[in-house]
Structure 1
Amino acid sequence: MDPRRRARVTRSEAGGSRWEVATRELPAGLRAHVRGLLGYSEATPLPNLRRQFPLPQVVVIIELGPPIRVHDPDGAPSRYAGGFVAGLHDCWTDTGHDGSQRGIQLNLTPIGARLLFGVALSELAGRVVHLDDLLPRAHRNLAERLAALPDWDGRFDMVESFIASRLAEARVEVDTVAWACRRIEASAGAVDIGGLADELGYSGKHLIALFRDRVGVPPKLLARLVRFDHLVRRLKSGPPATWAELAAELGFADQAHLTREIRSFTGITPTGARARLSDPTFA
């Protein structure tokens, strides 16, 4: 194997908790549709509850250990033994475990998820669905086969092979919406959606219908999620800046607009969100 493609494993320990995260470079043929692929293992002395922020991606969790608890907005927990898929949403999700978790997280672009699972993404928007409900019958033991492998490289090989085969089999036309998604991403969410529809020669209604099928949400919500994603990445790795400076830099109308978006997407204050993003276990 090319040394650049070997898994990089990072281990850390603090306060009685232990973490292991494995990553490696994605094959060139998957990068258009996969935002990230990582393996993880966590052990904590007490049950853990963690808030996940909404981002412009479909998250696939393949569980190799005890099922994670996924809490709905009312706080009621659900478990999905073997794994689950979370579609695009405009609200946070709380997840937890009883002291240990182990698995693989696959972050897909919406177009990648549409091709991989072969269902309209409107069926996933704002929902968490058991992974087995979306996998072909031949792949419904994916979690068990991955758990039986001895190392992360073997697991990554299997996941990448599965993704590549599903992409090769996909027959849905996605080029138009993929182009529109790239325009939204390139503008950091600031593109004019009406102008985008005009460029494509579509009515706004038709563009929204296409986005609901291929992405799961209307283009305006995708643009908001893209802008919020840029804010999240800026807070995690960019130089320090005031909220007013961040609002101007990232295309929010003003600081008040930025504050409203953070509260809407995370359920907490900007200060609380910044602190949450400093947690090294935030994926």
Structure 2
Amino acid sequence: MPLSRSPKDVLRPFVRQLWASEGDGPPGEGSNREMMLPSGALHLVLRLAETPLRIFRHRDDRVGFTVSAAVIGGPRSGPYLKDVSRPVPSVGALLAPGAAGLLIGAPAGAFAGRHTALEDVWGAAAVTELREKLWTAGTAARRLDLFEAALAARLPRLRGIDPLIAQALAGFDASLPVAAVVGQSGYSHRHFSKRFTETVGLKPKTYGRLLRFGRVLARLSAGSGPALADLAADEGYADQAHLNREFREFAGLSPGRYRRLAPRFARHVRL
């Protein structure tokens, strides 16, 4: 089981979760690929062995391509397939929307929909030094502390998420429609959408839809839950067909099949 925790005070506005894994045992036969479902957030992952992340372009792709052992996973609105046949010790962070510019050095829009080698942004020497420190730390708990300190050290002295974006994110968390969030901002829809998309990496409407998708995932992965028609009504979909369409768009499979697969972690679906 990965070790995960919330960051300490200095990083709490910018990082939602820190995690470290020792590299679980090899997955079961036929489970060498895992489908990762979108959260709308940016992920930062450092693999501590020299095995780079391997991504498959589609389900029929058996070769895929490698990215790096240190990866920025940009915000996305669809699933992707990764190789899990050789688990390795890893450390990662789930960044809060709007925080990429402060911690990574470029807004999330620069990484949206793709994986980027971290050394292309931070430089090879800095990434190599950090990975070596994390590797020699010995335990997952110690690695989390070191990784958190490294992220905190990257924060500028004057720091804070753009107030416009912070207000918008609070509105979306409260399930406000896009029009209401734009109205609160005092800006035109075009200006608001441009700033939000550059900072967060997703268009406002897509981001809001992903939040709703996340709520559905949480309820489906919790075990026995409501019928899909009731779930659709609870979460504001027009009907069950609307829920099915959006779920397939974001997950690449139906909510019924997702429920049958019963993934151990909500956004990690073994295939």
Pair 97,237 (structure 1): closer, same or farther in 2 beyond 3 Å? closer
What is the distance in 2 between the residues matched to 1:105 and 1:173?
21
Gaps of 5+ in 2: none
Residue 60 (structure 1) shift: 1.5
Residue 180 (structure 1) shift: 0.3
What is the distance in 2 between the residues matched to 1:73 and 1:211?
29
1:155 lines up with 2:158 in the alignment: no
Q: Is the 8 A contact 2:67 2:115 kept in 1?
A: no
TM-score, with length taken from structure 2: 0.87
The equivalences for 1:70-149 within 5 A come to: 70-73=55-58, 75=61, 77-135=64-122, 139-141=126-128, 142-149=130-137
- Of 214, 222, 239, the match for 2:199: 214
Q: Please name the residue that 2:10 is paired with.
A: 29
The equivalences for 1:1-283 within 5 A come to: 20-40=1-21, 41-44=23-26, 48-65=32-49, 66-73=51-58, 75=61, 77-135=64-122, 139-141=126-128, 142-169=130-157, 174-187=162-175, 191-237=176-222, 240-280=225-265
Q: Is the 8 A contact 1:247 1:254 kept in 2?
A: yes
SS at match of 1:279: coil
Pair 195,170 (structure 1): closer, same or farther in 2 beyond 3 Å? same
Residue 210 (structure 1) shift: 0.4
Q: Is the 8 A contact 2:33 2:84 kept in 1?
A: yes
More strand by share: 1
Q: Is the 8 A contact 2:212 2:235 kept in 1?
A: yes
TM-score, with length taken from structure 1: 0.84
What is the distance in 1 between the residues matched to 2:266 and 2:248?
21
The CA RMSD measured in Å over matched residues stands at 2.3
Tell me which amino acid in the other structure corresponds to 2:48.
L
Shifted more, 155-164 versus 166-175: the winner is: 166-175
CA deviations over 1:81-110 (Å, ceiling 9, x no partner): 322111111111001133332211211122
Tell me which amino acid in the other structure corresponds to 2:24.
E
SS at match of 1:251: coil
Residue 155 (structure 1) shift: 0.8
SS at match of 1:233: helix
Gaps of 5+ in 1: 1-19
Tell me which amino acid in the other structure corresponds to 1:150.
G
Tell me which amino acid in the other structure corresponds to 2:134.
L
Q: Is the 8 A contact 1:36 1:108 kept in 2?
A: yes
Tell me which amino acid in the other structure corresponds to 2:94.
N
Pair 26,239 (structure 1): closer, same or farther in 2 beyond 3 Å? farther
Pair 55,25 (structure 1): closer, same or farther in 2 beyond 3 Å? closer
SS at match of 1:278: coil
Pair 126,169 (structure 1): closer, same or farther in 2 beyond 3 Å? farther
Pair 82,170 (structure 1): closer, same or farther in 2 beyond 3 Å? farther
What is the distance in 2 between the residues matched to 1:109 and 1:117?
12
Identical aligned pairs, as a percentage?
A: 28
Pair 123,155 (structure 1): closer, same or farther in 2 beyond 3 Å? same
Residue 280 (structure 1) shift: 4.8
How many matched pairs?
261
Tell me which amino acid in the other structure corresponds to 2:84.
H
Shifted more, 112-121 versus 249-258: the winner is: 112-121
CA deviations over 1:4-46 (Å, ceiling 9, x no partner): xxxxxxxxxxxxxxxx422234213322222221111122165
What is the distance in 2 between the residues matched to 1:186 and 1:100?
37
Q: Is the 8 A contact 1:276 1:282 kept in 2?
A: no
